[in-house]
Amino acid sequence: MIVGVLALQGAFALHQQRLRDLGVTAPAVRTHAQLDDVDALVVPGGESTTMSHLLRTNELFEPLAKRLGDGMPVFGTCAGMILCASQVEDGRPDQRSFAAIDITVRRNGYGRQLASFEADLDVDALAESFHAVFIRAPRVERVGTDVEVLAEHDGVPVLLRQGACTVSSFHPELTPDGRLHQMFVDSIRES
């Protein structure tokens, strides 16, 4: 199995390391040809409007939209969640998303950089809590009926899954805990 990591902007190298720690081949994806060579993709955190722009200028938006529409598994974290969402509040008018998961998110929904925080989350399917790092995190405001909520913080969904798409409001790559990456890899193997 090859799980690519979108490497246009953001903390992609840490995602690659978490996946490699699990024995998964995790190349950087910057081109259409590289996207064609992967079985699944991690879309990391970063700045969602910048990532949306870079996807267009690198001619990756349409090929990635097609792969996601065809069911390629994706794990979107923070800005990656925004890019995977069906609706984005407080985005730029030219910002696009893939509508890979039926949620509405608000960019920087928890506040600016100074409002960043950490929290221990109870995650479905994990025996022990997961320490999550929220940095300028998106806030989920609506969850579609077919979306599974895997974890919440203060009653707000922060880890969700619908079909082949998993998203988190936080940055799981910023801790040495690889369990969420393992959960994503396992979901690919089971499908």
**pLDDT for the residue 190:** 86
**pLDDT for the residue 95:** 79
**pLDDT for the residue 43:** 97
Q: What residue numbers bound the domain in which 83 lies? A: 3-190
C-alpha neighbours within 13 Å on the C-beta side of residue 116: 10
39 or 116, which is more confident = 39
Give the CA distances from residue 87 to residues 26, 71, 153, in Å, rounded to whole numbers and listed in that order.
29, 19, 21
**pLDDT for the residue 85:** 97
Measured distance CA(61)–CA(20) in Å, rounded: 26
Active site residue 171: yes
The active-site residue, picked from 78, 84, 153, 181, is 78
Q: Name, in order, each residue with C-beta under 8 angstroms of 23's C-beta and a sequence gap of 6 or more.
A: none
**pLDDT for the residue 116:** 85
Sign of the Cα torsion 48, 53, 59, 62 reads: positive
pLDDT at 96 over 90: no
Mean pLDDT is lowest, of 56-70, 85-99, 129-143, 170-184, for 85-99
**pLDDT for the residue 187:** 94
Active site residue 59: no
> Residue 34: which CATH number?
3.40.50.880
The active-site residue, picked from 53, 153, 171, 181, is 171
Sign of the Cα torsion 68, 105, 42, 46 reads: positive
Q: Which pLDDT tens digit goes with each residue over 29-84? A: 999 999 999 999 999 998 888 888 899 999 999 999 999 999 999 999 999 999 99
The active-site residue, picked from 15, 53, 153, 173, is 173
- Give the DSSP letter string of the chain: -BEEEE-SSSSHHHHHHHHHHTT-B--EE-SHHHHHT-SEEEE--S-HHHHHHHHHHTT-HHHHHHHHHTT--EEEETHHHHHHEEEEES--TT------EEEEEETTTT-SGGG-EEEEE--TT-SS-EEEEESS--EEEEE-TTPEEEEEETTEEEEEEETTEEEESS-GGGSS--HHHHHHHHHHHH-
Burial 147-168 (b: 16+ CB within 10 A, else e): beebbebeeebbbbbbbbbbbb
pTM: 0.95
**Based on the structure, what is the number of domains in the chain?**
1
